[in-house]
Structure 1
Amino acid sequence: MANLSSFYQINTDFTNLVLASSTLLGILGSLLTSIIGTKFKRNYLIIIGFIFFAISLFLLLNHVTDTTFAISVLIFKFSWMFTVPYILATVASFDYTGKFINSVNLAIGGGLALGPFIAGFIIENTLNYDALITYTALIFLFSFVLIFGANLKK
């Protein structure tokens, strides 16, 4: 995110403040997940989370301003911490031995490790962030279809 803000010439101090503040929103997202628990159908909560993901990514397309950057980062962090527990709960509902969820956690770690490399490759070859945001949106859409479909089977 810091590279994105630098690309759009957003002040470094402002970027640091936004990124630090996003941690608080992440905590709120986790807290809300803890409070809600299983009171609502999981699919509805996943839909809400993915809508927030989409809004966050949409705000990063084309010309990014200080305001759109801040709103996008804050929404993304909140929705990530809100949605991921429900995604993992969906996976766990199909895993009776605990082996599959271990593989999922390995895949998440692999994504965190390889993601910056892949993102750097995309940015280097396109010279802007729009292609990266578009690819990210497509991956989120694909993951939404998989998770939503898995919840329909339960």
Structure 2
Amino acid sequence: MNTRTRASIDGPPLPSSAWSLLAAIIMFAAIAPSILMTAPAVAAQLASQWQLSPSQIGDLFSVELGAMSLASLPAFWWLKRVSWRIAAFAGAMLFIAANLLSTLADTYNLLLALRFVSALAGGSLMIICLASAATTANPGRVYGLWVMGQLVVGALGLALLPALFEHYGLSACYLILAGLMALLLPFTRCFAAGKPIPRETGAVNLPGSRMKTLFGILGILTFYISLGGVWTFIGAIGAQAGISAQHSGEILAFASVMGIAGAGCASWLSARLVLLPVGYGLMAVAVLLLLGEPGLWRFALAAFVFKFTWTFVLPLILACLARLDHNGKLMNASNLMIGTGLAIGPAVAGRLIETNGGFTAVLIGAAVIISLSLALMHSSRVQA
């Protein structure tokens, strides 16, 4: 990289740096995981255009999710050694290249490899966003907007992609991702110039903080285990209860709107940690409402409350972890735990369903794990 190029990347921050950083966090965090947020539409197109089997489609999305999580491993080294501006620029360029090349892929294995690279770049950008949010004056509010941005992009993608796929095929999705990321390249200058986060930015160092950190990591892991186990099979729960696919789809689509509202409320309330037990409690209640083959209205209520509280609680969890993070490593570890929990939850839930011939064990187990996650996050809390 020549001196002139490096100066443009690592030069003076954009005007109104706090607002610019907030915009960068929200936009990069919304675009990087958008394939996963629009998975139903993309999966349907992969089946119709590429004639992929369900197992091949599942493997493709598992690779994307796994790569986003695995991005945390090299990040433990580069977070404290590499300028976050340069890391964000490099990640964005790799993301653009992988998506452009995905439009040219003509074999499944090549597409698989390119989606791995794209997700690895996207995961690195997510880590920078998570760690940068922890340095802001009000991390809880930023994490609420972080979640809300992802949900809004996901909802727009699910609404617009089917029509685009009909006219332009799967390439439309990858071209849009590359184009949007190219537009965000100037915002890489909003991230930190290079040194680890100083402790006076909000992280605390108290006796027992290592145990609190461990509790926080286990808290987000258990949260995503319960979340992944329930949300993956919520459509199947509705089907077993006799709810039609059309009604179930409409309910789950509106639940996405409730998710946006939940994240918005968390941001509006500045993710006040005193509300953590309330959010967790309502989430557990929503899970228990799904017991015993719920009728249409009980199923709808459970889905709405579950999605609202899921996106309401997540910013609270991240705000708890931000209080313990000195150099971005804890937020990096949280990215790894999110992917791990999302992988463990459906796998364990699926085996419980097969073993018990129903959803009762999964739902009761999820409610218990939600309670455990609350206890762990409460134990990780520190006073401001």
Alignment match, 2:123: none
Deviations 1:81-125 (A, max 9, x none): 111001111012111111122111111112112321211101000
Aligned to 1:98: 328
One-letter code of the match for 2:316?
Answer: Y
d(CA) in 2 for partners of 1:66, 1:90:
36
* Offset of residue 127 of structure 1: 0.5
Distance 1:32 1:145 in 2: 23
Q: Which residue of structure 2 aligns with residue 6 of structure 1?
A: 239
- For 1:127 and 1:64, locate their aligned partners in 2 and report how far apart those are by CA, in whole Å: 17
In the alignment, is the contact (CA less than 8 A) between 2:283 and 2:309 conserved in 1?
A: yes
Q: Is structure 2 residue 245 aligned with structure 1 residue 15?
A: no
1:69 Cα deviation after fit: 0.8
Task: State whether structure 2 residue 266 is matched by structure 1 residue 37.
Answer: no
Where does 1:1-154 land on structure 2 (aligned, <5 Å)?
Answer: 1-37=234-270, 40=272, 42=273, 44-151=274-381, 153-154=382-383
- Comparing 110-119 with 26-35, greater Cα deviation is found at 110-119
State the alpha-carbon separation in 1 of the partners of residues 298 and 316 from structure 2: 27
Report how many residues are paired: 150
Distance 1:8 1:126 in 2: 17
User: How far apart in 1 are the matches of 2:345 and 2:360?
Assistant: 16
Task: Quote how far apart the aligned CAs of 1:142 are.
Answer: 0.6
Deviation at 1:136, TM superposition (A): 0.5
Q: Distance in 1 between matches of 2:276 and 2:252?
A: 24
Amino acid at match of 1:61: L
Percent sequence identity is: 31
SS in 2 for 1:70: helix
Q: Is the 8 A contact 2:238 2:293 kept in 1?
A: no
Q: What's the offset of the Cα at 1:8? A: 1.4
Q: Which amino acid in 2 is paired with 1:56?
A: A
Amino acid at match of 1:71: L
What residue ranges of structure 2 are gaps of 5+ in the alignment?
1-233
1:17 CA drift (Å): 0.4
Quote the Cα distance in structure 1 between the aligned partners of 2:239 and 2:260: 26
Please give the root-mean-square deviation of Cα atoms over the aligned residues, in Å.
1.2
Q: Structure 2: which amino acid aligns with 1:48?
A: V
Greater gyration radius: 2
The runs of 5 or more residues in structure 1 that have no matched partner are none
Return the TM-score normalized by structure 1. Answer: 0.92
State the Cα deviation string for residues 109-154 of structure 1 (Å, max 9, x = none).
1211232121110100000101000110111111000111222x43
Report the Cα offset of residue 3 of structure 1.
1.1
- Once the two structures are TM-superposed, the CA of residue 47 in structure 1 deviates from its matched residue by 1.2
* Contact kept? 2:258, 2:308, Cα under 8 Å: yes
